[in-house]
Amino acid sequence: MGSMQRSFYVGEGVTEEDIKAKFEDGVLKLDIPKKEAKLPEKKLIAIEG
Protein backbone atom coordinates (compact mmCIF):
# COMPACT_ATOMS: atom_id res chain seq x y z
CA MET A 1 0.00 0.00 0.00
CA GLY A 2 1.06 3.56 -0.61
CA SER A 3 -0.38 6.99 -0.63
CA MET A 4 -0.66 9.83 -3.09
CA GLN A 5 -1.60 13.46 -2.74
CA ARG A 6 -2.58 15.96 -5.43
CA SER A 7 -4.02 19.46 -5.17
CA PHE A 8 -5.49 21.85 -7.71
CA TYR A 9 -7.32 25.17 -7.84
CA VAL A 10 -11.08 24.95 -8.44
CA GLY A 11 -11.82 28.67 -8.62
CA GLU A 12 -13.56 31.19 -6.45
CA GLY A 13 -17.06 30.54 -5.21
CA VAL A 14 -16.60 26.76 -4.83
CA THR A 15 -16.50 25.46 -1.27
CA GLU A 16 -15.59 22.06 0.16
CA GLU A 17 -19.28 21.36 0.70
CA ASP A 18 -19.96 21.81 -3.04
CA ILE A 19 -17.45 19.12 -4.10
CA LYS A 20 -18.36 15.44 -4.04
CA ALA A 21 -15.81 12.64 -4.42
CA LYS A 22 -16.17 8.90 -4.93
CA PHE A 23 -13.42 6.25 -5.04
CA GLU A 24 -14.57 3.09 -6.79
CA ASP A 25 -12.60 0.28 -8.48
CA GLY A 26 -9.36 2.26 -8.23
CA VAL A 27 -10.86 5.35 -9.90
CA LEU A 28 -11.42 8.64 -8.09
CA LYS A 29 -14.40 10.57 -9.45
CA LEU A 30 -14.88 14.23 -8.52
CA ASP A 31 -18.09 16.18 -8.99
CA ILE A 32 -17.32 19.91 -9.00
CA PRO A 33 -20.14 22.31 -9.92
CA LYS A 34 -19.39 24.58 -12.85
CA LYS A 35 -19.58 28.25 -12.04
CA GLU A 36 -22.03 30.08 -14.27
CA ALA A 37 -20.43 32.60 -16.57
CA LYS A 38 -21.47 36.16 -15.94
CA LEU A 39 -22.73 37.61 -19.21
CA PRO A 40 -22.30 41.31 -19.87
CA GLU A 41 -25.45 43.36 -19.43
CA LYS A 42 -27.17 44.23 -22.72
CA LYS A 43 -27.64 47.92 -23.42
CA LEU A 44 -29.80 49.50 -26.09
CA ILE A 45 -28.69 52.68 -27.79
CA ALA A 46 -31.23 54.77 -29.67
CA ILE A 47 -30.08 55.94 -33.10
CA GLU A 48 -31.70 59.07 -34.50
CA GLY A 49 -32.27 59.55 -38.20
pLDDT value at residue 24: 92
For residue 19, give every residue at least 6 positions away whose Cβ sits within 8 Å of its Cβ, in sequence order, or none.
10, 30, 31, 32
Is the pTM higher than 0.75? The answer reads no
Greater confidence, 1 or 16?
Answer: 16
Angle at 33 between CA 31 and CA 36, to 5 degrees: 160
Residue-wise pLDDT tens digits, 2-45: 888 888 888 788 888 989 999 999 898 999 888 777 788 888 88
Q: Where are the domains of the chain?
A: 1-34
8 within 8 A of 30, measured Cβ to Cβ? no
Distance CA 4, CA 37 (A): 33
